Structure 1
Amino acid sequence: MKQSELIKQLSDEEIRKQLFLSQSLLILISIILSVILFEKMTDWLLFFDWNMGEILLYGLIPGLIIVFIDLGMMYFLPEKYYDDNGINKRIFGDQPLFYIFTISLFVAVSEELLFRGVIQNEFGYLFASLLFAFVHIRYLRKPVLLISIILVSFFIGYMYELTNNLLVTITAHFCVDFLLGLVIRFKK
């Protein structure tokens, strides 16, 4: 059965539960892999630097650039090119701002811990960026979304290469998810 058909069978609440479960699984995988791959569990703390200039320059500004490019795509391209079968509408639509903030932060933290904090540190930029794009499997049959997620993955991975700071990538990822979540929420 196609993914789109499976999704249609789920309620909005079930989709949101699946999102929380999948992101929780990513955090668990991050913890397990860090125990296996890192010399000390506390080595992870080295990847968090509260350098606000770096966070703004390499996290917030790139996040805003990604959002503006996505908004441009939404404006100029027919909806069918960037539609993910309505999943994001079902996750963010008609939700309170606190929910959009919380889910965006949870997704950004869980995915960046795994893909940049563990995988990119241990297996490299190329592998982490491609795996990140592949995990967003619902975009595989949507060429515009696939190209977009690959470019975003490499862009955010590159910001990590420059800074070696997970707070930078978490900020960029959160900015993208939160602002686009707001666009979906308030789009008429």
Structure 2
Amino acid sequence: MGRKKRKTQAELIQEVSDKELVLNVIASQLIFLFLAVIATFYLFSWEEIVALFQFNWLEIFIYGLIPGTIVVFIDLILIRFVPKRHWDDGGVNEKIFRSLSAWQIFLLAIVIGVSEEFLFRGVIHTEFGYIVASTIFALVHVRYLSKPVLLVSVILLSFLIGYMYEITGNLLVPIAAHIWIDFLLGLYYRYRMR
């Protein structure tokens, strides 16, 4: 008797509805946020928590939104010129974003950006350092491990976002960058599918 062939990520994704996939993304992000909140109150004083968030709009724009726009531009170049088999994540991003409105994409980007950056930069980076946080962030994006272009891209992005936090000490900078990147790429996936 032969062993059953394991389904690929793309095959598994096709078995899940768009709504179920989005709900799974939200659930995973809420777990990240819960872990971040618990760890924050365990590891940091109230003053240290408040110091993580600096409403410096110029800093957010220069160190978060401008580099975020460049990241999106580079991603779009990769999508345009690199064969799909090298950058396709098995249809996950397309399936997540194709059924959402622009407003829903923005809200999802906020949930993802806040939860991931709060955990990886606000907690792990602050407590254990730039290298540890950036490495763990890249590893959490496990679906990219079998795609070298995506893997290199997420590693570079992880270290770039970590560097944003490293040089500013302002958690709102990587949060804004992450939201902006996910929002713009989400819009691309949404409207490219039409």
Q: With structure 1 as the length reference, what TM-score do the two structures score?
A: 0.95
- 1:6 and 2:36 aligned: no
Classify the secondary structure of the residue corresponding to 1:36.
helix
Name which of 160, 166, 171 aligns with 1:155.
160
SS in 2 for 1:49: coil
Kindly provide the amino acid, as one letter, of the partner of residue 163 in structure 1.
Answer: T
CA contact (8 A) 2:13 2:91 kept: no
Q: Is 1:167 aligned to residue 175 of structure 2?
A: no
Q: How far 1:75 sits from its partner (Å)?
A: 1.0
Select 1:107's aligned residue among 108, 112, 128.
Answer: 112
Deviation string 1:10-34 (CA, Å, 9 cap, x unpaired) is 2111111100100000000001111
Q: Is 2:56 the partner of 1:30? A: no
The 5-angstrom pairing of residues 63-78 of structure 1 reads: 63-78=68-83
Q: What are the ranges of 5 or more consecutive residues in structure 2 without an aligned counterpart?
A: 1-5
- Give the number of equivalent residue pairs: 187
Distance 1:177 1:25 in 2: 19
> Are the counterparts in 2 of residues 120 and 128 from structure 1 also a CA contact under 8 Å?
yes
Task: Give the root-mean-square deviation of aligned CA atoms.
Answer: 1.2
Which stretch has the larger CA shift, 9-18 or 155-164?
Answer: 9-18
SS in 1 for 2:78: helix
Which one of 41, 47, 61 corresponds to residue 52 of structure 2?
Answer: 47
In structure 2, what residue type is equivalent to 1:17?
L
After the TM superposition, which segments of 4 or more aligned residues of structure 1 sit over 3 Å from their partners?
none
The residue type equivalent to 1:64 in the other structure is: T
Offset at 1:9? 2.5
Partner AA of 2:12 in structure 1: L
Give the structure-2-normalised TM-score: 0.93
Unpaired segments ≥5 residues, structure 1: none
CA drift of 1:43 comes to 2.3
Q: Secondary structure at the match of 2:167?
A: helix
Partner letter of residue 30 of structure 1? Answer: A
The alignment partner of 1:95 has SS state of: coil
Deviation of 1:140 after TM superposition, in Å, equals 0.5
